[in-house]
Amino acid sequence: MKKMRNFTIAIAVLLIVAMMAACGGTAPSGAETTAAAAATTAASAATEAATTAATTTAASTTAAAAGAATTAAQATTAVITTTATPETTPAAGTAEADKFFGGYDPMITITSVKNLGSAGLTFPEGDSLEDNVWTRYYEEVLGIKIDWLWSVNDAEYDQKVNIAITSNDIPDIMRVRNTQMKMMYENDQLLDMTDLLPEYWAPFTEDVITADGGNGLRSATFDGKLSAIPIVGNGLGNAFVLWVRTDWLEKLNLDFPETIEDVLALSEAFTTQDPDGNGLDDSFGIAVHKDLFGVGFACLEGFFNAYGAYHDIWIPRDGQLVYGNVQPEAKAALRVLTELYANGQLDPEFGVKDANKVTEDVGANRFGLMFGQFSNMARINPVKVENPEFEWVPVSVPLDSDIQAKAQLPFGTSRYFVISKAAKNPEAFVKMVNLQLEKSYGESAESTRFNITPDGYGPYSYNVVYFEPAMKNFDAAKAVTYAVETGDTSLLNDEQRNYYDMSMMSLSGDHGNNNWHQLKMFGPKGSLSVMQGYWDSGNYMPNAFYGAPTQTMTEKLSTLQTQTLTDYTAIILGGNLDDFEVYVQNWNLLGGEQMTAEVNEWYATQQ
């Protein structure tokens, strides 16, 4: 029992780590967290974090965390290594290796600053921010000593960075948002990386940083000058799927939905035919929380996509970029929602229920359909353990081919590492990225030493830089699926093997410790495979704006988003579709028109 409890704690802790990673590469909570009961909460948080731009990080770290937890249950000692082993440096000794990974002698010192996350960082016994597995490794392999100028919790980080920029008291390297990067460029504070980065990036680093076709790099380029190293993510990790309660499908003898009309028919059946067989009229169709969008769980982006509507992103139309929220397709989606609400197929109390409350309702057999993200089952894994018949299967959002609907994708890059114009040895920063990526995800990776340890620490968060391959999760899903289907596990790497082991445990009936959740992501016909399908078929609509926020966007966007939520909700509840035109008028007056003009000024520069 104790072992199982520790197992759960490890997962909970690691999911918290994953959440923090998604919020910006910050703190693991430490194994002392009394979190046995917090697994669901942590998992939810990880899911919510997945709605931020850093989804790939969230998802992969969540999975890695769960995987590491498996090891934790078996491990008796910490694996973390306290002595650096320069011998493991990739291909040491060749001229290329020296260029990408070669050390400085005498040692150099670089300055940086640290976001400690919302709860602060925890370290293995004897370690600290100044002295840990990464600082020691950088000193021994690269001859680089890290001098932290300051460190603050996440809530204060942006403000502290802003002050640093304004007072021109900046470190050699730091992580910033796109607005801050642009401000620093305009202040002439940044090193020009245009030639430097391509000269010194190792092949694997280049692969990772250009995985999005170069848009991340373009988003960091002003007047033709590359001004930062983008932390490139992949918007595909943020695509939406439709989760279907398949034990209800079977009970009512219904088929998988293929079109949005099929989905609406299921919604009616799940509302009216007592799918859980308890004799009570207590179920609905599509689960929705009060904010309608966001959180990545029981949200409506995927539903809107089915009608060719794209929420909170910019799409090309007639040679211009337009905002999805105010297009006629959004009105079409709202029209259907007013009907679902009027017919009692939406929870009449959705307007006061947040995502956590809806999670409880989903677990209590109130809903049979929900649009969300690939990691949603983390929230309800405990319900599966209690009731093995409780089953959800992810399917592609029904994309209407008549209107050429597509799955929306956010822009994958929102954070950047900037190098001070005053920094010495500028190539040192590219070498730091090369080494981090190689030891975390490259051919010589030691993931339990440098990413997440079996006993629950997150060394990745101790480093100055953190990057990861954008398609890592999708590659893992292919590998795990192949292994499950063929029994051939020889191609799995360590991380993938953990997902495989957990998936196999779920397939044999042991759904606990997030085994089922892993199966639903990485296993055959899992959510990642569904999302891969959008990619393979070209059925995706990426956010077409990836510049730095415009002035009006910075000033007005959050107000406009609040207005959208308020007006959409009123339309769904009130049923008056004419209100949509009033909403669009107000949106334009309150800054939307000006923001659109600014976005199109940027768009013109990209043609």
Question: Judged by CB, which is closer to Ca ion: 95, or 280?
Answer: 280
Q: Which positions touch Ca ion (CB under 5 A)?
A: 274, 276, 278, 280, 282-283
Question: Judged by CB, which is closer to Ca ion: 250, or 258?
Answer: 250
Residue 368 — φ and ψ, nearest 5°?
Answer: -120, -5
Radius of gyration of the chain (CA): 24
Smallest distance, Å, CB 471 to Ca ion? 42
Smallest distance, Å, CB 395 to Ca ion? 23
Question: Judged by CB, which is closer to Ca ion: 346, or 505?
Answer: 346
- Is residue 293 classed as helix, strand or coil in its secondary structure? coil
Q: Token pair for residue 115?
A: 């976001």
Question: Judged by CB, which is closer to Ca ion: 162, or 272?
Answer: 272
Question: Judged by CB, which is closer to Ca ion: 1, or 280?
Answer: 280
Smallest distance, Å, CB 403 to Ca ion? 35
Smallest distance, Å, CB 361 to Ca ion? 13
Smallest distance, Å, CB 357 to Ca ion? 19
CA 129 to chain centre: 25
Question: Judged by CB, which is closer to Ca ion: 276, or 455?
Answer: 276
Of all helices (H) and strands (E), which one includes residue 43? helix 39-49
Smallest distance, Å, CB 410 to Ca ion? 37
CB neighbours of residue 99 within 10 Å: 15
Distance CA 478, CA 534 (A): 15
Question: Judged by CB, which is closer to Ca ion: 276, or 438?
Answer: 276
Instruction: For residue 434, give Cα distances in angstroms to 397, 400, 424.
Output: 38, 43, 18
Smallest distance, Å, CB 385 to Ca ion? 22
DSSP string, 548-596: PPPHHHHHHHHHHHHHHHHHHHHHHHH--TTHHHHHHHHHIIIIIHHHH
Find where tokens 């007047």 sit. 223
Smallest distance, Å, CB 485 to Ca ion? 36
Distance CA 187, CA 564 (A): 35
* Alpha carbons within 13 A on the beta-carbon side of 586: 14
Smallest distance, Å, CB 507 to Ca ion? 29
Find where tokens 């794209």 sit. 310
Question: Judged by CB, which is closer to Ca ion: 284, or 429?
Answer: 284
**Burial of 280 by CB count in 10 Å (0-12 exposed, 13-18 middle, 19+ buried)?**
exposed
Task: List for the chain the helix, strand, coil content (%; round to 5).
Answer: 50, 10, 40
Question: Judged by CB, which is closer to Ca ion: 257, or 275?
Answer: 275
- Is residue 211 classed as helix, strand or coil in its secondary structure? coil
Question: Judged by CB, which is closer to Ca ion: 282, or 555?
Answer: 282
Exposure string (b/e) for 518-555, b if CB count within 10 Å is 16 or more?
A: bbbbbbeebbbbbbbbbbeeebbbbbbbbbbbbebbee
Question: Judged by CB, which is closer to Ca ion: 361, or 446?
Answer: 361
Q: Is the peptide bond before 124 cis (omega within 30 degrees of 0)?
A: no
**Burial of 139 by CB count in 10 Å (0-12 exposed, 13-18 middle, 19+ buried)?**
middle
Smallest distance, Å, CB 243 to Ca ion? 19
3-class secondary structure per residue, 101-139: HCCCCCCEEEEEEEECCCCCCCCCCCCCCCCCHHHHHHH
Smallest distance, Å, CB 277 to Ca ion? 7
Smallest distance, Å, CB 527 to Ca ion? 27
Residue 324 — φ and ψ, nearest 5°?
Answer: -60, -35
DSSP string, 373-417: -TTTHHHHHHHHHH-TT--EEEEE----TTTT--EEE--S--EEE
Smallest distance, Å, CB 275 to Ca ion? 7
**Burial of 179 by CB count in 10 Å (0-12 exposed, 13-18 middle, 19+ buried)?**
middle
- Contact in structure between 65 and 455 (CB atoms under 8 Å): no
Smallest distance, Å, CB 372 to Ca ion? 22
Question: Judged by CB, which is closer to Ca ion: 219, or 283?
Answer: 283
- Contact in structure between 27 and 122 (CB atoms under 8 Å): yes
Question: Judged by CB, which is closer to Ca ion: 41, or 273?
Answer: 273
Task: Please report how the helices 355-363 and 377-386 are oriented relative to each other, as an axis angle in degrees rounded to 10.
Answer: 30
Question: Judged by CB, which is closer to Ca ion: 290, or 366?
Answer: 366
